[in-house]
Structure 1
Amino acid sequence: MAQASPVVWGACDEAALQEVPVIERYLFSCARYPVPVDHADPAKGTVDVAMMRRAATEPAERIGSLFLNPGGPGGAGFDMPVGAVERFGPAVLERFDIVGFDPRGIDRSTRMRCFANAEQAEKVLGRMSSVPVTDEQISTTMGAYADYGDACAKNAGELQRHMSTADVARDLDLLRAGVGDEQLNFVGFSYGTLLGATYVNMFPERSRAIVLDGNVDPALRTADGVQYDRERAGGFELALDGFLQRCAAEASKCSFGEGDPRAKFDEIRTALRQAPITMPDGSKITLDQVTDGVSSALYDPEQFRQLASDLQALHLQLHPKAGLVPDLLRVLRLPSGKHRFDGVGEAEEAYVDDSYFAVNCTDKPIPKKPGLVPAVAAQWEAESPTFGRTQAFSDVAGCSEWPPTSPDVHRGPWAHQAANPVLLFGNFYDPATQYEFSQRMEKELGNARLVSVDSFGHCILGDSSCADTRAADYLINLRVPQPGEVCQPDQQPF
């Protein structure tokens, strides 16, 4: 294991601090920190990890550093300290330096690049359909994934072979030592919960307070990537069903609530599977756009009103009424993107790059059998009509064509030996990491405590005073909430 040299903090560039009030900028500093590209063979050289720190506002009472990861994989965490005031109460900001970092391969850190430029990337990625239905769409999408894998094999170099979560956990351990902390304090969101679970098992004696929000099922994810994604599709279906039921119950406030929202939604999806819907302004709305847009909106309950309005406009276009013109679409008219990224914030605003597949295709066992993908997609669509097909044509398709990677993956044990319990938060209607995954995380870690949240959306810290208070008490005092505690969000949809 490489020895950690101290982090050398300096000024942050102006662009990084644009959102920070001028009178608070003195709290912020930035650094680049070298880590071995291959921890087993440091002679292969280093890659840089970009870091930002927001200093504790009560330095005399400082406990240590609090490292954050936003999820993904592929999520850029460098500037998370800028938004820390929206996610953590004053007591946490007084006692901890808040440290964000872009994991290896991502954004401001040494990037893993499969393409020389954006034009080359678009030539390949632009041929992918999120929900390919016809033989031609399926063939084109799978061909694009094959070309993507070839480009990564040719261009991404040694870094592509060392992108496992275990590699990132080793980097994180060096960062922890580099800032001078004997033990790690960490908050991980979404995929960041796998990073936290991996760290606490690889380095239990160096783990102090680990908070995991929006949990994956680490055992399933690292043992059977295909089954994990199949269940993940089911999680999106559960969240969609919850949204449609809440819309029906709040019909006076939900514009899609009149009649039977479930039947109306299914009719829209069935129509789009046959052909795009042409809106009054001439724009053609596709199955890709609507599937991506609905999944993205389910991450954030603040978008539920607009999602309902868009769905009602599509339904009105299928059933025109004299004198009624459908409203302009907002969340469902965006250009289709893969929307793979899971993490805090809105999916389409997040920085996503080639590291998404580099991490998942290393961590998640998925057979190199691209010919099987269409049959898998058909089976999953029968079980999960809205999201089964798009899940199959994400990681199962992409990883079937991904170049070989290092086998260095932590696949268990998960029952950690750290002195303190791990604190978990799970929303009942989380689309990307369904609630059952949080229940499994609690069982698998053994020494852990789950706080359930009666909430929609992906992850909760910053949106529930109840959850925020429990997290602060744990981070500062290492006090764990009572078993079976259920929090409410500060706002319910509609």
Structure 2
Amino acid sequence: MAVAAAALVAGTGVVAPVAAEPAGAKPVSWKKCAPADLEGVPVTQRYLFRCATYPVPIDHDDPSKGTVGLAMMRREATNPDERIGSLFLNPGGPGGSGYNRPTTAADRFDPEVLERFDIIGFDPRGVNRSDPLRCFKSAKQAEDVLGRISSVPVTEEQIDTTLDAYQEYGESCEKNAGELLRHMSTKDVARDLDLMRQGVGDDKLNYVGFSYGTLLGATYVNLFPERSRAIVLDGNVDPALRTADGVQYDRERAQGFELALDGFLQRCAENPTKCAFAEGDPRAKFDEIRDRLREGPITMPDGTEITLDQFTDSTGSALYDPEKYRQLATDLQALHRQLHPKPGLVPELLTLLNVPTSLGRLDADSGYVDDSYFAVNCTDKPIPHDPERVADIAAEWEAESPTFGRSQAFSDVAGCSMWPKTNPDVHRGPWAHQAENPVLLFGNRFDPATQYEFSRRMEQQLGNARLVTVDAHGHCILGRSSCADTITTNYLVDLQVPQPGQTCQPDQQPFN
């Protein structure tokens, strides 16, 4: 039986109570990492890394159903004498692999964080190396179904084909995914995280979550407030709306992408010498390309056909990363010139907007990977099992969010409307946590995937939280703003909380 005791918090000189530990948690057994997992890490630093597979129950309330092996990686603190504890990372998704995030931690965090914390990456249950949840028997079967899904179906035939494929997807998951399918909620992952926290020997959790990882962090701090030390959430979801009304959440998510697109086009117009798409009216030109693609593909001079699916998916993807803005502008200008060719102009090849669109995790080297994205979202987000409504919802959203409304409706709303019923054990609140320390939040003004308003709501819902507003484009900010990175370091190391209303700038704005 775990016993509460007093412990010295390393590096702080403060005596803090140890929370009662969950029964059954075991120490992590660290081993040498496979060389392929440390690709890109200098040989002189590889001694810092260890890896493990950590078993957790498939069903935390019924351990007899078996276990999932969580893949973990640790980068040891480089100043062990001043070590504070471990820092767990989650990159988002859901379904994002966090296993090798310690290998790139220097790109996200100041040196002092790497000196004072072991950096822990992990693949959540059902993701990649952690017993991937699979709805199909093979990569071919997955491609046969997922390949028929259009991300922006416009015609009746495209809509029917897409919905039929989603139905097959759900049926295949019900048939093949097994017991794990019913235990993929964020609450399940938070309980896994608490076992890992104990497994690495930490009394309290230190955690940085990006995007969907902010929901995991918000869930953890509410389930285990007495075990939470420092929680940093970057690119926040609206946890209350996401877990109460998945349809409205995704509607507002589409609006966030539109706001980010507006920001990109505005920055372009303000920097005519550095943005290739600035000539004329960028907004009008963009809308012309999009509306033309609704009628059919645009054929480029090299014979490549660009579809509405490719255009929408690739534009949305580029909005995540401001470093891609210049190339996005160049590609958009090339597409517009194809609609209005001029003699003597040499055609330009596309770089970002010609990427084939795909759904799910189809890896070119290893084949079919997992189906964790829908498994998590269709568990957490309440979406009616009413596929007949999807086309009408898409048309309504397209009217208010003309670039991203339709694609957003034909993602989770369509997929989850035919997903198998899963475990209803989802944390849907309360969100006002009782942890001793405030949660630190970052929100970009032009974040496409988690619009700034979501970060404001996260602050309000958590109550004991502090939001830092960043005048930045792109999804999440740590590693791209020295201001935000310094605030994070001071918080993680010394539990220093910024003043209310704190703002930061990115290190570089688009087109500068």
TM-score (norm 1): 0.97
Does the Cα contact within 8 Å between 1:300 and 1:458 map onto a contact in 2? yes
Does the Cα contact within 8 Å between 2:361 and 2:370 map onto a contact in 1? no
Code of the residue aligned with 2:504 in structure 1: it is C
Which of 456, 459, 471 aligns to 1:439? It is: 456
Q: Which residue of 1 aligns with 2:11?
A: none
Q: Separation in 2 of the partners of 1:3 and 1:475? A: 29
Q: Separation in 1 of the partners of 2:131 and 2:358? A: 24
User: Does residue 1:30 correspond to 2:47, yes or no?
Assistant: no
Q: Separation in 2 of the partners of 1:165 and 1:125? A: 25
Q: Separation in 1 of the partners of 2:360 and 2:114? A: 32
Q: Which residue of 2 aligns with 1:295?
A: 316
Q: Which residue of 2 aligns with 1:129?
A: 150
Q: Which residue of 2 aligns with 1:216?
A: 237
Code of the residue aligned with 2:195 in structure 1: it is L
Does the Cα contact within 8 Å between 2:219 and 2:427 map onto a contact in 1? yes
- Give the match's secondary structure for 2:469: strand
Q: Which residue of 2 aligns with 1:185?
A: 206
Does the Cα contact within 8 Å between 1:33 and 1:50 map onto a contact in 2? yes
Q: Deviations over 1:250-297 (max 9, x none)?
A: 011100001000000000001000011011001110000000010000
Q: Which residue of 1 aligns with 2:13?
A: none
Q: Which residue of 1 aligns with 2:268?
A: 247
- For 1:138-157, what aligned pairs fall within 5 Å after superposition? 138-157=159-178
User: Does residue 1:407 correspond to 2:424, yes or no?
Assistant: yes
- For 1:194-273, what aligned pairs fall within 5 Å after superposition? 194-273=215-294
Q: Which residue of 1 aligns with 2:507?
A: 490
Q: Separation in 2 of the partners of 1:58 and 1:231? A: 44
Q: Deviations over 1:388-423 (max 9, x none)?
A: 000000000000010010000000000000000000
Q: Which residue of 1 aligns with 2:498?
A: 481
Q: What is the CA distance between 1:325 and its match in structure 2?
A: 2.7
Does the Cα contact within 8 Å between 1:73 and 1:360 map onto a contact in 2? yes
Q: What is the CA distance between 1:110 and its match in structure 2?
A: 1.0
Gapped regions of structure 1 (runs ≥ 5): 342-350
Q: Which residue of 2 aligns with 1:42?
A: 63
- For 1:80-479, what aligned pairs fall within 5 Å after superposition? 80-338=101-359, 353-479=370-496
Does the Cα contact within 8 Å between 1:50 and 1:101 map onto a contact in 2? yes
Code of the residue aligned with 1:397 in structure 2: it is A
The 1:149/1:201 distance shift into structure 2, 3 A limit, reads same
Does the Cα contact within 8 Å between 2:238 and 2:455 map onto a contact in 1? yes
Q: Deviations over 1:283-315 (max 9, x none)?
A: 110000000010000000000000000000000
Code of the residue aligned with 1:195 in structure 2: it is L
Q: Separation in 2 of the partners of 1:463 and 1:33? A: 32
Q: Separation in 2 of the partners of 1:53 and 1:300? A: 27
Code of the residue aligned with 1:484 in structure 2: it is G
Q: Deviations over 1:109-136 (max 9, x none)?
A: 1111111111110000000001000000
Q: Separation in 2 of the partners of 1:336 and 1:101? A: 27
Q: Separation in 2 of the partners of 1:382 and 1:463? A: 34
Q: Separation in 1 of the partners of 2:347 and 2:273? A: 18
Q: Separation in 1 of the partners of 2:336 and 2:342? A: 11
Does the Cα contact within 8 Å between 2:134 and 2:369 map onto a contact in 1? no
Code of the residue aligned with 1:353 in structure 2: it is D
Q: Separation in 2 of the partners of 1:163 and 1:318? A: 46
Q: Which residue of 2 aligns with 1:348?
A: none
Which of 95, 98, 112 aligns to 1:77? It is: 98
Q: Separation in 1 of the partners of 2:239 and 2:388? A: 27
Code of the residue aligned with 2:372 in structure 1: it is S
- Give the match's secondary structure for 1:68: strand
Q: Count how many residue pairs are aligned between Structure 1 and Structure 2.
A: 485
Q: Percent identity over the alignment?
A: 74
Q: What is the CA distance between 1:339 and its match in structure 2?
A: 8.2
Q: What is the CA distance between 1:2 and its match in structure 2?
A: 4.3
Q: Separation in 1 of the partners of 2:241 and 2:142? A: 31
- Give the match's secondary structure for 1:210: strand
Q: Separation in 2 of the partners of 1:462 and 1:450? A: 17
TM-score (norm 2): 0.94
Which of 24, 32, 42 aligns to 1:11? It is: 32
Does the Cα contact within 8 Å between 1:296 and 1:339 map onto a contact in 2? no
Q: Separation in 2 of the partners of 1:352 and 1:76? A: 11
Code of the residue aligned with 2:260 in structure 1: it is A
- Give the match's secondary structure for 1:463: coil
The structure 1 segments of at least 4 consecutive aligned residues displaced by more than 3 Å after TM superposition are: 338-341
Q: What is the CA distance between 1:352 and its match in structure 2?
A: 7.3
Q: Separation in 2 of the partners of 1:113 and 1:94? A: 38
Q: Deviations over 1:412-439 (max 9, x none)?
A: 0000000000000000000000000000
Code of the residue aligned with 2:244 in structure 1: it is A
Q: Deviations over 1:341-385 (max 9, x none)?
A: 9xxxxxxxxx97301000000000000000100000000000100
Does the Cα contact within 8 Å between 1:75 and 1:352 map onto a contact in 2? no
Once the two structures are overlaid, the 10-residue window that deviates more, 317-326 or 373-382, is: 317-326
- Give the match's secondary structure for 1:137: helix
Does the Cα contact within 8 Å between 1:466 and 1:488 map onto a contact in 2? yes
Q: Separation in 2 of the partners of 1:105 and 1:326? A: 45
Q: Which residue of 1 aligns with 2:19?
A: none
Q: Separation in 1 of the partners of 2:203 and 2:463? A: 23
Q: Kindly report the root-mean-square deviation, in angstroms, between the aligned alpha carbons of the 2 structures.
A: 1.2
Gapped regions of structure 2 (runs ≥ 5): 1-21, 363-367
The 1:115/1:228 distance shift into structure 2, 3 A limit, reads same
Q: Separation in 1 of the partners of 2:310 and 2:345? A: 24
Code of the residue aligned with 1:488 in structure 2: it is Q
Code of the residue aligned with 1:4 in structure 2: it is A
- Give the match's secondary structure for 2:354: coil
Q: What is the CA distance between 1:18 and its match in structure 2?
A: 1.2
Q: Deviations over 1:20-69 (max 9, x none)?
A: 10000000000000000000101111110000000000001000000000
Does the Cα contact within 8 Å between 1:31 and 1:51 map onto a contact in 2? yes
Q: Deviations over 1:212-231 (max 9, x none)?
A: 00000000000000000000
Q: Separation in 1 of the partners of 2:98 and 2:336? A: 39
Q: Separation in 2 of the partners of 1:2 and 1:294? A: 48
